[in-house]
Amino acid sequence: MRIVYVVPGPMGSTPEGKAELERRGRLLREFASPETEVDIIDVAQGPASIESMYEEYISIPATAELMMEMEAQGYDAAILGCFGDPGLDAMRELLTMPVVGPGEASFLTAAMLGHQFSVITIMQSVVAPTRWQVRKAGVGEKLASVRSIDVPVLELARDREATLERMIAEGRKAMEEDGADVLVLGCMTMGFLMVAEDMSKALGIPVVNPSRVSLKVAEMLVGARLTHSKRAYMTPPKLAIGKVKGSGELLVAKGE
């Protein structure tokens, strides 16, 4: 089984980013079952980090193109490497292999572990979008709350202990004030920080790491021989009837 994890931004454009990309690749391979091959790849152009709906949207065009290339290369499933699942429905319109959205996969897993889950995320600016995302995943009735620690993505890893402390503090409020019995980390960088188990130990409830869970859900879907419904995520009509040949041709310019 071959799975590709696609980072929807040019993470590898700096030496530090490149190292981080490799570190994440190693972690994904640790998460994987022995018979799974996992690759990680970033797109050539996109936002440095995603902390708003605008940044979600500008990440989609290049990521969708790369996803299609990955399917052509024979991968069995792809993971869309941003917790906000930007453009997940579009990727499913364009592809037939399973595309795992880490947010969606984490919410549905959390739904299996308890009655009410809370999401601990980065910035206030993504709290409302995350609430909608949970509802779109179909499990809005199980959402206790979305809480942010107010630390930008690019600073999460600067001081792992300080970040962990803030995450535990918000997680505790989610339990005590909002009634959460399960937590979900709402950002892939949080996931790759590998703090979920420490939080879980500190708080006594399960903490879903989206990085680990999205890989396991991808394996699960491939192993179960399931992919998304093309009746739900229809191929764009101009592509379906052959009016245009590739997704790129759907985008036209004025001078054309």
Tell whether residue 121 is a contact of a second copy (CB under 8 A).
no
Nearest to 146 by CA among 88, 103, 109: 103
Helix (H, G, I), strand (E, B) or coil at 243: coil
Which residue in 147, 193, 195, 212 binds a second copy (CB under 8 A)? 212
Count other Cβ atoms within 10 Å, centred on residue 137. 20
Tell whether residue 158 is a contact of a second copy (CB under 8 A).
no
Residue 163 or residue 209: which is nearer to a second copy going by CB?
A: 209
Rg over alpha carbons for the chain, rounded to the nearest Å, is 18
Alpha-carbon 87 to chain mean position: 11
* Rounded Cα gap, residues 77 and 37, in angstroms: 11
Q: Of the listed pieces 20-28, 75-83, 159-167, 175-183, which binds a second copy according to CB under 8 A?
A: 175-183
Tell whether residue 177 is a contact of a second copy (CB under 8 A).
no
Minimum CB distance to a second copy, residue 91 (Å)? 8
String of b and e for 172-200 (b: at least 16 CB within 10 Å)? eebbeeeebbbbbbbbbbbbbbebbebbb
Total number of residues that touch a second copy (CB under 8 A): 98
Count other Cβ atoms within 10 Å, centred on residue 107. 29
Tell whether residue 142 is a contact of a second copy (CB under 8 A).
yes
Q: Of the listed pieces 7-15, 77-85, 158-166, 185-193, which binds a second copy according to CB under 8 A?
A: 7-15
Residue 51 or residue 170: which is nearer to a second copy going by CB?
A: 51
For the chain, how long is the longest CA-to-CA vector? Answer: 60
- 10-39 residues in contact with a second copy (CB under 8 A) are 10, 12-13, 31, 33-35
- 45-74 residues in contact with a second copy (CB under 8 A) are 45-49, 51-58, 60-61, 64
Which residue in 20, 25, 125, 198 binds a second copy (CB under 8 A)? 125
The amino acid that residue 14 corresponds to is T
* Rounded Cα gap, residues 131 and 145, in angstroms: 8
Give me 123's structure tokens: 């910035």
Helix (H, G, I), strand (E, B) or coil at 102: helix
Residue 98 or residue 167: which is nearer to a second copy going by CB?
A: 98
Minimum CB distance to a second copy, residue 214 (Å)? 10
* Rounded Cα gap, residues 188 and 211, in angstroms: 6
- 74-93 residues in contact with a second copy (CB under 8 A) are 87, 89-90, 93
Minimum CB distance to a second copy, residue 75 (Å)? 18
